[in-house]
Amino acid sequence: MKEHINKLRQMDIGKVVENVPLKEHTTYKVGGIASCFVYPTNVKNLIQLLKYVKKNNIKYKILGNGSNTLFSDKEYTGIIIKLNHFDHIEVKDTLVVVGAGYNLMKLASLTARKSLTGLEFASGIPGTVGGAVYMNAGAYKSDMGYVVKRVKVLTPDYRVITMTNKELDFHYRTSFFQKHPEYICLEATIGLNKGKKEEIYKVNQERKKRRLESQPLEYPSAGSVFRNPEGLFAGKLIEDLGLKGLTKGGAQISTKHANFIINKGNAKASDIKELIEFTQDAVEDKYHVKLKVEQEFVNWE
């Protein structure tokens, strides 16, 4: 990898950082060392980078805020691509054009200040816009699929195209991008509505209070571990099995919310994965329901 890292630096496509601890870039605060992080400064440089990694058969991963990702404890021998420079934003009346690297919570706060309603559900989701589109992130019976009008996308053959909401195939916690991971979200156009600032703030404050009361926000986690099965709540199924507080190493099924696994201190990624798999098996044995994991497992092969 050293030779490739030196070559990437010579290409002058953006910042290149060696030997990066993944726990510094994931909300679980776990994961091994990544050989290299690259921060391309624009689309042209991103394309150059992708052509290089594919030509040289280098493993790579586009990473947002790492808020829905569980990396293994072993070294990631490849390149992590961060789109932090893709953070432009333009508000045109009720339309917001925003780069994939823009922070989603920051966006929800900005739109609230501009009296635009529709992104209140995102005020507590610590991801990037690109990651939120990829996962179709949501809460409070709303998600990105309700507000995203279109997305600027880089295709596997390096064309920049625009895809409409319908083409993006948004469904509960999924989208076109999960089935086509070589397509990269560059920018989203989000459609909101005029609202009253004080009412938007009131909703956000009430939900913040509810999150603080019901979720273990004082510990590293990745939010809800499992998707809710149709007509059921994953957290209730887990709680009814008496699994709250179950601990493996430094990881624990939260005593506050059973659908959260928290890092109580020095947890390994393997501790978290074992708790996830144990919980899945226990729920399936008892209720014949196979819980789907919201988080993406990376570098476990």
Question: What CA–CA distance (Å, rounded) separates 135 from 62?
Answer: 13
The arithmetic mean of pLDDT across residues 103-131, rounded, is 95
Q: What is the pLDDT of residue 52?
A: 98
Looking at the fold, whether 174 and 269 belong to one and the same domain comes out as no
Q: What is the pLDDT of residue 259?
A: 98
Query: 118: closest CA among 192, 207, 199, 201?
Result: 192
Looking at the fold, whether 101 and 181 belong to one and the same domain comes out as yes
Question: What CA–CA distance (Å, rounded) separates 258 from 247?
Answer: 12
Looking at the fold, whether 105 and 124 belong to one and the same domain comes out as yes
Question: What CA–CA distance (Å, rounded) separates 291 from 256?
Answer: 20
Query: pTM surpassing 0.85?
Result: yes
Q: What percent of the chain has pLDDT over 90?
A: 97
Q: Which residue intervals of 158-266 are DSSP H helices?
A: 176-179, 197-214, 234-240
Looking at the fold, whether 78 and 95 belong to one and the same domain comes out as no
> Does the residue 281 lie in any domain?
yes
Q: What is the pLDDT of residues 12-69, one digit of tens each?
A: 999 999 999 999 999 999 999 999 999 999 999 999 999 999 999 999 999 999 999 9
The CATH number for 104's domain is 3.30.465.10
- Provide the annotated active-site residues: 173, 224, 294
> Does the residue 205 lie in any domain?
no
The two structure tokens encoding residue 92? 């045109």
Question: DSSP of 42-85, one letter per residue?
Answer: SHHHHHHHHHHHHHTT--EEEESS-TTEEE-SS-EEEEEEE-TT
Q: State how many domains the chain has.
A: 3
Q: What is the pLDDT of residues 254-294, one digit of tens each?
A: 999 999 999 999 999 999 999 999 999 999 999 999 999 99
Query: 105: closest CA among 80, 139, 149, 82?
Result: 139
The arithmetic mean of pLDDT across residues 93-121, rounded, is 97
The two structure tokens encoding residue 95? 């339309």
The CATH number for 260's domain is 3.90.78.10
> Does the residue 208 lie in any domain?
no
| Structural domain boundaries enclosing 48 | 2-82
Q: What is the pLDDT of residue 31?
A: 98
pLDDT band at 122 (very low <50, low <70, confident <90, very high): very high
Looking at the fold, whether 78 and 133 belong to one and the same domain comes out as no
Question: What CA–CA distance (Å, rounded) separates 233 from 115?
Answer: 33
Residue where one domain finishes, among candidates 82, 103, 122: 82
Looking at the fold, whether 238 and 280 belong to one and the same domain comes out as yes
> Does the residue 107 lie in any domain?
yes
Q: What is the pLDDT of residue 102?
A: 98
Q: What is the pLDDT of residues 203-256, one digit of tens each?
A: 999 999 989 999 999 999 999 999 999 999 999 999 999 999 999 999 999 999
Question: Given the DSSP bridges, would you call strands 193-194 and 116-117 parallel, antiparallel or unpaired?
Answer: antiparallel
Q: What is the pLDDT of residue 38?
A: 98
Q: What is the pLDDT of residues 286-301, one digit of tens each?
A: 999 999 999 999 999 9
Looking at the fold, whether 267 and 184 belong to one and the same domain comes out as no
Q: What is the pLDDT of residues 155-188, one digit of tens each?
A: 999 999 999 999 999 999 999 999 999 999 999 9
Looking at the fold, whether 13 and 60 belong to one and the same domain comes out as yes
> Does the residue 207 lie in any domain?
no
Question: What CA–CA distance (Å, rounded) separates 135 from 174?
Answer: 5
Question: What CA–CA distance (Å, rounded) separates 142 from 136?
Answer: 10
Looking at the fold, whether 232 and 291 belong to one and the same domain comes out as yes
Mean pLDDT rounded to a whole number for the chain:
96
243, 282 in Cβ contact below 8 A?
A: yes
Q: What is the pLDDT of residue 69?
A: 96
Looking at the fold, whether 227 and 256 belong to one and the same domain comes out as yes
> Does the residue 173 lie in any domain?
yes
Q: Which single residue is written with the structure tokens 């709303």? A: 142
